[in-house]
Amino acid sequence: MINYSNDKRVVLTLDAGGTNFVFSAIKGNVEITTSITLPSNANNLDFCLETIIKGFKEIIIQINDKPVAISFAFPGPADYENGIIGDLGNLPGFRGGVALGPMLKEIFGIPVFINNDGDLFTYGEAIAGFLPFVNHKLKLANSNKRFKNLLGVTLGTGFGAGIVRNNEVFLGDNGAGAEIWLMRNKLHPFSLAEEGVSIRAIKRVYQQNSNFNHDEDLSPKDIFDIATGIKPGDKQAALKSFEEMGEILGDALSNAITLIDGLIVIGGGLSGAASLFLPKVIEEMNGHIKSLNGKDFNRLEVKVFDLEDETQFAEFAIGEQKIINVPKSNNTISYDPLKRIGIGLSKLGTSKAIAIGAYSYALHQIDTKVKA
């Protein structure tokens, strides 16, 4: 896996939210400027575009090196490969297709790369976070097992995802790869998975099941504190809200990882409550499914381990080592029949992973074109 931590090139980045835009520059996987925050002007396209131009110009003033690219995450739907933004919910000024990438390329004269946050989060964790962390721990444990594929999911306002395979972000032919939020909700089959895996899901399930009257609008952190006994409230309803999310998340991850067969990393604001939902995720993924004649199957061909648990990590690293005979020979060969993957939490933090992902993606694309 390529790591640009010692690279001297500078890339301009943007954290695009519905309320504010935060601009910065990265060199060697490290932010080298004081970030600049400007209001997004989400309802007015002209003001919004002028804000983006202004933000990047102000960052350029802070740096000594000429930037080699602009790279950032931006909400979809979008034609990310061509830098064209579609109709956005949280930035309603964008309608009918806005050529944001081409505009910035003309103004600044450098390549522009736009992706969604799930893709860049996963790429950052694959380059400098969870994937190398796990592989390094496996090496220290004298395990021969190594992983090259990563599914990343972000849990927060929405339910996002990204896929990295052999150092490449999998975007799909329409830039619509890893749209996990649209998977079917296990507990509400006519609904989206995101309706059960998001901030609004935690709040809804707690409100539906709580016998405790709250004067305030509770956040997921409040509900987490109720579940862990820090804050007064309906503890059982709070626990149920995270366990239900874990079951729906586990089902969605099972469907996704069946086609990917790699490690899974979790980020986003709700990942801080992993102690309450991750056990249910593991239980769901290591559960069973039946054929129509009642025959029982493992939910997955692989066994899933919680890599945040050191006991489980030790079992994950060792596997099931066997020595078997080579037929018609006096030789033997080692064999590990345990097909396994692991799931754990971001090692960089979501924002940093997205920034490193944006930086690495830009440099990788530039280097790949040079070699071609």
Quickly state the pLDDT bin for 371 (edges 50, 70, 90): low
Residue 85's H or E segment, with its range, is strand 84-85
Task: Note whether 109 and 164 are same-domain residues.
Answer: no
Q: Please, where are the H alpha helices in 92-156?
A: 100-108, 117-128, 130-140
Do 178 and 312 lie in one domain? The reply is yes
Residues 134 and 109 in one domain: no
Is residue 331 domain-resident?
Answer: yes
Tell me, yes or no, whether 61 and 170 share the same domain.
Answer: no
CATH of the domain at 140: 3.30.420.40
Residues 148 and 256 in one domain: yes
**Position 168 pLDDT exceeds 70:** yes
Determine the Cα–Cα distance for residues 234 and 231; give it in Å rounded to an integer: 9
User: How many domains in the chain?
Assistant: 2
Nearest partner of 115 among 144, 74, 145, judged by Cα: 74
Flag whether 124 is in a domain: no
Q: What is the pLDDT of residues 39-85, one digit of tens each?
A: 988 889 999 999 999 999 999 999 999 999 999 998 888 999 999 99
Q: What is the pLDDT of residue 76?
A: 84
3-state secondary structure of 334: strand
| Contact status, residue 56 vs residue 106, Cβ threshold 8 Å | no
Mean pLDDT for all residues in the chain: 94
- The pLDDT of 221-232, averaged and rounded, is 96
* Co-location of 210 and 245 in the same domain: yes
Q: 15 falls in which pLDDT band (50, 70, 90)?
A: confident
Residues 93 and 164 both lie in one domain? no
Considering the chain, what percentage of its residues have pLDDT values greater than 90?
A: 85
298, two tokens:
């493992």
Tokens matching residue 372: 């071609």
- CB-based contact 196:185 (threshold 8 Å): yes
Q: What does the pLDDT average to over 350-354?
A: 91
The answer to whether position 364 is within a domain reads yes
- pTM for this entry: 0.93
Q: What percent of the chain lies above the pLDDT cut of 70?
A: 99
Residue range 201-213: mean pLDDT, rounded: 94
Sign of the Cα torsion 358, 180, 349, 76 reads positive
Is pLDDT above 90 for 208? yes
- The confidence band for 189, taking pLDDT boundaries of 50, 70 and 90, is very high
Residues 47, 151 within the same domain: no
Q: For position 175, what pLDDT does the model report?
A: 85
**pLDDT tens across 244-254, in order?**
999 999 999 99
Q: Quick one: 162 and 217 in the same domain?
A: yes
Q: Provide the 10 A C-beta neighbour count for residue 31.
A: 15
Tens digits of residue pLDDT in 77-127:
899 999 999 988 888 889 999 999 999 999 999 999 999 999 999 999 999
Q: What is the pLDDT of residue 213?
A: 85
Domain containing 41 equals 10-115+353-371
- Average pLDDT on 22-40 reads 93
pLDDT of residue 364: 93
Residue 372 has pLDDT above 80, yes or no: no
Whether 301 is covered by a domain: the verdict is: yes
Same domain, 88 and 182: no
pLDDT at 368: 86
Whether pLDDT at 243 is above 90: yes
Q: Retrieve residue 202's tokens.
A: 């935690």
Q: What is the pLDDT of residue 324?
A: 95
Together in a domain, 104 and 139: no
For the chain, the 3-state helix, strand and coil shares in percent, each to the nearest 5, are: 40, 20, 35
